[in-house]
Structure 1
């Protein structure tokens, strides 16, 4: 007997084993799995399915619709392929998840890059079987991105002189406080609306994992860590208002975050979904360590 049913928290150990077999370069802990599925702000139990054969899970899919996007986007956040004689269930599982996403109004479907809550920003091209599966089912590569890493051990991330220089220019730099939440939301809503949900999460951490730059009472730059993929040394997002870029504010905030991660015992920091490679290389010697291909298709095709 084969079929589909909603994912249950009692499935966790089996889901981890299925993921590990398919995606060995992207290990999932129990905590990360829970963060990606049940702690997603847009979690929908009907979009999280297990494929079952002879009473046991053989594959699973976790998907989400982000209602803040127009037209609506749907993401398949996690997906595993069954092996052997059950391989065909992968196509059936994908079709069922796609149908449910379309029924919720999703017109564009993407794979894995489901910000603000995502494990990886695309598909590592070393997963050849999975790439082939996606392309056979109508998904097309539309972009590439990369993760970088920077070493934290035996290093000093001192920003005192740079902060003093910024202060003389009228820019105050400090860690976010609980009472800054509204000012942060106002600034991000205007200049970086896509990052509001991730940055909001930093206020739940202890200490708050967000560093800010102020001009007067206005937030003009920010840098965060532990906003996604908790426990992995995950940096970002960060941003500076357009008219203050190039003054070294972002570098100071970035290094303050690295100093925090170092103090928490991390050996390296992961910088995901990188835009300006040269910025991170110059600021901390970060290097590109992962490449990801991004895939999408129109629902119903």
Structure 2
């Protein structure tokens, strides 16, 4: 039996005890709160076992009402291998089917998400997906930036070169989401809005003659995660992205983070060259037809 999840704070506490990777457990309360307050146009499904040993978050968007997402599923270690995870997954599938879904994906439902898919190190989750009839349909990855290895002199030199073109780097303001929306759509605009409103988050823009050249944000979904970032087509080649990236990572370092996750990272070569980021977290995305 599965019931509706009512206590989001309790779910955060359960996640802190259930998520095996320390970087996820450290942000458990943030994850629960983010998934419990999704963007407009999304129907959220929040489930729990009656004994409080497991939780699941799922959702479906009105932009693609036939595709449901199981965004997060966790069971306390002591309660595993007794069917709680399978029961939560079945209940989530049933709720999503009732909302019109014909397919379910085990993975993030951007722009509000915990992670792209199942981190390959969460072996029990991979096993559950396979037993439940899901098939591997995509792979995603994060890159990790070591914030303790930042080069302030290189960052200052890059920023000076950008300023020589007449551009300035400024904190984003309330008008920035509309500009982001005009080029990259609603998803990234929502993330920028969150970065302006949430503690531990931020966003910078490069501006020249009143025109925004690019933006970079961090903390929209998780304080230790960077992104999204984009450069206007007319400003490509100026080094805007590298400067904005380093500004954001410096903020995250100042907030106490030693590493930052570049979520759903690409292009890999850019991040590797700009901040020596490395491929680290690999996610398998599973899909099932209902």
What is the Cα deviation at residue 73 of structure 1? 3.2
Residue-by-residue CA offset, 1:166-202 (whole Å, 9 max, x unaligned) = 23334332222xxx322x2232112211311111111
Aligned counterpart, 2:74: 80
Q: State the Cα RMSD in Å.
A: 2.7
What is the Cα deviation at residue 114 of structure 1? 2.2
Residue-by-residue CA offset, 1:10-36 (whole Å, 9 max, x unaligned) = 633762366236x67732545224323
Aligned counterpart, 1:225: 218
Runs of 4+, deviation exceeding 6 Å: none
CA contact (8 A) 1:212 1:221 kept: yes
1:189 maps onto 2:181 in alignment: yes
Q: What's the secondary structure of 1:143's corresponding residue? A: strand
Compared CA separation, residues 132 and 11, structure 1 to 2 (3 A): same
CA contact (8 A) 1:61 1:93 kept: yes
Provide the TM-score with structure 1 as the length reference: 0.82
Provide the TM-score with structure 2 as the length reference: 0.85
Residue-by-residue CA offset, 1:238-261 (whole Å, 9 max, x unaligned) = 111233223211001001111212
Aligned counterpart, 2:162: 166
What is the Cα deviation at residue 71 of structure 1? 4.7
Distance across 1 between alignment mates of 2:105 and 2:15: 22
1:96 maps onto 2:87 in alignment: no
Q: What's the secondary structure of 1:289's corresponding residue? A: strand
Compared CA separation, residues 7 and 44, structure 1 to 2 (3 A): farther
Aligned counterpart, 1:288: 279
Instruction: Pick the aligned partner of 2:108 from 106, 113, 135.
Output: 113
CA contact (8 A) 2:27 2:222 kept: no
Distance across 2 between alignment mates of 1:12 and 1:283: 38
What is the Cα deviation at residue 293 of structure 1? 1.0
Aligned counterpart, 2:10: 11
CA contact (8 A) 2:31 2:222 kept: no
Unaligned runs of 5+ in 1: none
What is the Cα deviation at residue 209 of structure 1? 0.8
Q: Which has the larger displacement, 166-175 or 10-19? A: 10-19
Instruction: Pick the aligned partner of 1:263 from 243, 254, 267.
Output: 254
Aligned pair count reads: 283
Residue-by-residue CA offset, 1:69-118 (whole Å, 9 max, x unaligned) = 2355321111135534x32x433332221121122233432213122222
Q: What's the secondary structure of 2:264's corresponding residue? A: coil
